[in-house]
Structure 1
Amino acid sequence: MAYRNDGYRVAVIGASGNVGREMLAILAERGFPAKEVIALASSRSAGQEVSYGEDQVLKIQNLETFDFTGVDIALSSPGAKVSAEHSPRAAKAGCVVIDNTSQFRMDPDVPLVVPEVNPEAIAGFRKKGIIANPNCSTIQMVVALKPLHEAFGIQRVVVSTYQSTSGSGKAGMDELFNQTRGIFMNQPWRDHQEKFTKQIAFNAIPHIDVFMDDGATKEEWKMNVETRKILDPKIKVHANCARVPVFIGHAEYVNIETDKPIDAEAARAVLRKAKGVTVVDMREDEGYVSPAECAGEDPVYVSRIRDDATTENGLSFWCVADNLRKGAALNTVQIAEVLCRDYLDA
């Protein structure tokens, strides 16, 4: 399969936000075959300008009044409520929507896709004209789990996340910056509290998204149900999610139990060959990757691969990724690349 010779009309919904801007940057970086790129956002942002590549500037158009007729693909990250209204509208006009919000992820008629893990699921876009992009914390974990599951058969996953403030958008990053500055100036942290339930500067908050009836937060629930939809419904997942005072880059400690015997050496060899994974695992100072080092990078970095002697066939590892890139914008663009190459003109 190959791309269409004359290129594609691409709309970026939510172009004024962190993820939308990253989508525009990555489309340009990867040379996506777009003959036209359209920036869309709410009426509040209409008329503002955003960068596309190094030398192009796009004027944001009003999403509410935009006609999607003739648009091939929309990369969408405007928030779930907005997406619930406009993604089906775009799909009805013949545009394939790759949606980065939580709105459609668990819809049985909408494929939930990580290209390194389940690219074949993209074919399901024909049911509703929508493809869902998973949650950022789920994406990086399943990229690392996929090759291990194929080689050893994963039964159970226990994951603890350390998620950056950019997962809450620009407002979350601003809150971290303003609280940190305020503390050094003897200002009460509550003077700069809008997004998070507790102080985020110099702190860790074991609470992302709303609480559910069983005591889990919705972020933890997402990691459970999304992993099983993407990778294997038989895998058991228990997640613990925390917000930490980092601007960009999510980190996760992952423990797995497998059907077949597994050890660190065998797992390391499998992960070194895996798509989208970079192994940096030296048992010495600086022999691992931290969130600050993965910002602006595409791979999922895996470090600290160790045997877990507390259970039969157990392994643990540390993984980090740029949540705005692989956790959101990059994964969306990668889906679009496979969609265009293998399906739109098939």
Structure 2
Amino acid sequence: MTKQLTVAVVGATGAVGSKMMEQLIKRNFPIGTIKFLASARSAGKPIEFNGQTYTIEEATPEAFEGVNVALFSAGGSVSAVLAPEAAKRGAVVIDNTSHFRMDPEVPLVVPEVNRGDLAKHKGIIANPNCSTIQMVAALEPIRQAFGLTKVIVSTYQAVSGAGVSAIQELKAQSENWEAGKNVEANILPAASDQRHYPIARNVIPQIDKFTDNGFTYEEMKMINETKKIMHAPALKVAATCVRVPVVSGHSESVYIEVEKEVSVEDIFDVLRNAPGVVLQDDITTQTYPMPIYAEGEDATFVGRIRQDLDNKKGFHLWIVSDNLLKGAALNSIQIAEAMLEDNLL
């Protein structure tokens, strides 16, 4: 008989939290008891889950007593305070924020890539950045087969990565453009103390704030997280992260350099057998990944694979995935499933 677990969801009403709830149901996660936790402002409100109505409870340290798995998606400041409290009370925290990702004591995990790191956890496991997850899922099989020395990625990231309010703003801006009305921008590209730009009919070459080195925090997340997940500190990684007027589904143009001289067909063969990856690459039928078709799908889709014209060890790839699923909620649930299978829960 499958072990029945007590699960807590922190931040269930957000874009990622609602997807976590959907995945728990869809994947038939063994829930004995579930509780939904939020700020005092939301406590007491009803929430629907799997045909039943629950009452949201205030997220306090004591609320995690008896919890086996705590899924966090309520912002880094919440995780910073409550994740250690939940772990202290025996819960395994799977945190979807950036707060713990680069903590050397916290595993940063994509199950298809570094599942073994789960055994090293000390109560908290970090879910990587959405754009990082899909890239390493596609590149790790190539790295294992042929080695990997360099990664240069440019992203085309959907507005859902910035939350429900960004989705609503894209819709409102698009409607106002069509109606000839004033277009207001209050959300993107970054926090409230930054200048804002419209995303409808636009692309914004900034996600999150800028760091002192000219890269944004989003770009540095991709750079640092990729090295940590792959256990490849010497890997050369550079990123340019761009927000595009797409609701869901991140796309990435990725250039890589491998250690061995191989062919495009060799890359195809590796990706055809890669877990969680779907190869979509046929130029005769114009078959390649697109976010409109990746939305709602679990896989990471890869196509447009070409050998570089000047470097035999260089290859170009196009990688697409649903950022709210594999890029966030699904990966979190897969971490919990892997821990259950490996007797870590």
TM range (shorter): over 0.9
SS in 2 for 1:37: strand
Alignment match, 2:192: none
Alignment match, 2:224: 225
- 1:201-280 correspondence to structure 2 within 5 Å: 201-231=200-230, 232-280=232-280
Alignment match, 1:177: 171
How many equivalent residue pairs?
A: 338
Report the CA distance shift for 1:57/1:294 in structure 2 as closer, same or farther (over 3 A): farther
1:136 to 130, 147, 151: 130
Q: Which amino acid aligns with 1:145?
A: L
Alignment match, 2:31: 34
SS in 2 for 1:241: strand
Report the CA distance shift for 1:62/1:17 in structure 2 as closer, same or farther (over 3 A): same
Deviations 1:4-43 (A, max 9, x none): 7441101011011111111011011001111011111122
CA distance in 1, matches of 2:61, 2:82: 10
Distance apart, 1:339 and its partner CA: 1.2
Distance apart, 1:253 and its partner CA: 0.6
CA distance in 1, matches of 2:214, 2:13: 34
Q: Which amino acid aligns with 2:203?
A: A
CA distance in 1, matches of 2:285, 2:47: 41
Percent of matched pairs sharing the same residue: 48
Alignment match, 2:78: 82
Alignment match, 1:193: 186
- 1:273-288 correspondence to structure 2 within 5 Å: 273-288=273-288
8 Å CA contact 1:263, 1:315 repeated in 2: no
CA distance in 2, matches of 1:253, 1:152: 20
CA distance in 2, matches of 1:194, 1:312: 43
Alignment match, 2:117: 121
Hey, which bits of structure 1, 4+ residues long, moved more than 6 A? none
CA distance in 1, matches of 2:233, 2:47: 41
8 Å CA contact 1:123, 1:343 repeated in 2: no
Report the CA distance shift for 1:310/1:188 in structure 2 as closer, same or farther (over 3 A): farther
Matched, 1:306 2:306: yes
SS in 2 for 1:67: helix
SS in 2 for 1:46: coil
Which TM-score applies when normalising by structure 2? 0.95
Q: Which amino acid aligns with 2:187?
A: E
Q: Name stretches of at least 5 consecutive residues in structure 2 with no aligned partner.
A: 190-195
Report the CA distance shift for 1:179/1:107 in structure 2 as closer, same or farther (over 3 A): same
Q: Which amino acid aligns with 1:221?
A: M
Report the CA distance shift for 1:85/1:264 in structure 2 as closer, same or farther (over 3 A): same
1:22 to 19, 25, 28: 19
Q: Name stretches of at least 5 consecutive residues in structure 1 with no aligned partner.
A: none
SS in 2 for 1:149: helix
8 Å CA contact 1:43, 1:64 repeated in 2: no
SS in 2 for 1:293: helix
CA distance in 2, matches of 1:121, 1:194: 36
CA distance in 1, matches of 2:300, 2:170: 24
8 Å CA contact 2:107, 2:118 repeated in 1: yes
Q: Give the stretch that moved more between structures: 321-330 or 34-43.
A: 34-43
CA distance in 2, matches of 1:29, 1:342: 21
Matched, 1:45 2:42: yes
Q: Which amino acid aligns with 2:211?
A: M
RMSD after superposition: 1.4
Which TM-score applies when normalising by structure 1? 0.95
Alignment match, 1:317: 317
Distance apart, 1:285 and its partner CA: 4.9
Report the CA distance shift for 1:286/1:42 in structure 2 as closer, same or farther (over 3 A): farther
SS in 2 for 1:343: coil
Deviations 1:65-116 (A, max 9, x none): 7521110010111000111011111111111100000000000000000000
SS in 2 for 1:83: helix
Distance apart, 1:50 and its partner CA: 3.0
CA distance in 1, matches of 2:323, 2:259: 30
Matched, 1:12 2:9: yes
Alignment match, 1:73: 69
CA distance in 2, matches of 1:67, 1:119: 29
CA distance in 1, matches of 2:208, 2:262: 34
CA distance in 1, matches of 2:22, 2:209: 31
